Amino acid sequence: MTDLMGLLQQASINGILAMGMMFVVISGGIDLSVGAIVAFTGVIAASLAHPGQHALIVAILAPVLAGGLVGMFNGISVARGGIPAFMVTLASMLMVRGAALSLGHGAPVLNLSQGFRAVSGGVLGPGVPCLVLYFAAVTAISAVLLRLTVFGRRVYATGGNAVAAAVSGIGVPGIRIAVYTLSGLLAGFAGVLLASRTLSGSPSAGEGYELNAIAAVLLGGVSLHGGVGTWYGTLLAALLIAVLGHGLDRLNVPPSCHLVLLGLIIYLAVRIDGKGKGPGR
């Protein structure tokens, strides 16, 4: 049981990022900035969470909003500026990572309050870590948004054929701005959780997290071209990646090999998947 919870805990932060990424990729975009946002918002959170400085809620909400703002910038640039998502989010990844470094003066921000540490460290009821609870809540909200709301259906329509969606009266720019903002908000939340969990706001945190999130989304069956994908596929893939890391650890496989195996599995999964339904066949 504790083992399972430990596993879920490992999956949580990547899982939360993957849920945000899922919306972006289904809408036909990509968000490379989430890893940098995790670091940036982690530093903000840590700077606001020194003991006796601000109310706890400030240290949680401010970074989440900051993440949302970066996401909104991404969304507006993609939707209104007509710049490819890859470029926009690559640029904001660099800017935001730089902002994290200068904000933290290049070093991790330490000395966090007891309350802030408890945000991720707590355990609820019969041994369920808070982190897992957050992940479950984010997944549930994402699932509802994607499957049951008009917004979710419009995300699919936009990714499936943005022109047809616009002709059908869907405000495509608004949808784009919304998905990137959502991804940014969730990345901000993940930044808070990571800072709380590691007891520091490190400007070098979250390195490569965007790729892990993209990996989970693609492994879960979301099409990189947009328009296709499910929340449970993303959830399962995020869990699978965590199980894999966990299992390999216990088998004493060195961490350097984890990456090779993870890469291989993603390659094979996407390849098998692509055989059946790739366009043009």
Q: How many CA atoms lie within 13 A of 222 on its CB side?
A: 35
- In the complex, minimum distance from the CB of residue 228 to another protein, in angstroms, rounded to a whole number: 5
Token pair in block for residue 39: 């670091």
Size of the chain, expressed as the number of residues it contains: 281
Phi and psi dihedrals of 128, rounded to 5?
-95, 115
Residue 81 interacting with another protein (CB under 8 A): no
The answer to the question of residue 220 lying near another protein (CB under 8 A) is no
Q: How far is the CB of 145 from another protein (least distance, A)?
A: 9
Which one, 80 or 105, has the nearer CB to another protein? 80
| Contacting range for another protein; rule: CB under 8 A; set: 78-86, 118-126, 143-151, 194-202 | 143-151
Burial class (CB in 10 A: 0-12, 13-18, 19+), 5: middle
# residues near another protein by CB under 8 A: 24
**Which residues is 130 bridged to in the sheet?**
none
Using alpha carbons only, give the angle 187, 238, 26 rounded to the nearest 5 degrees. Answer: 65
- Determine which residue in the list 110, 148, 264, 268 makes contact with another protein, applying CB under 8 A: 148
Residue in 211, 180, 181, 197 with CA at minimum distance from that of residue 42? 197
Among 14, 47, 196, 223, binds another protein (CB under 8 A): 223
The count of other CB atoms within 10 Å of the CB of residue 223 is 21
Q: Nearer Cβ to another protein, position 57 or 150?
A: 150
251 binds another protein, rule: CB under 8 A: no
CB-nearer residue toward another protein: 250 or 281: 281
> Degrees (nearest 5) of the Cα angle 247, 199, 89?
75
Closest CA to 60 of 70, 40, 46: 46
Stretch that binds another protein, among 119-127, 187-195, 223-231, 250-258 (CB under 8 A): 223-231
Binding another protein (rule: CB under 8 A), the pick from 169, 254, 255, 276 is 169
Residues lying near another protein in the complex (CB under 8 A) = 148-154, 156-157, 159-161, 163-171, 223, 227-228
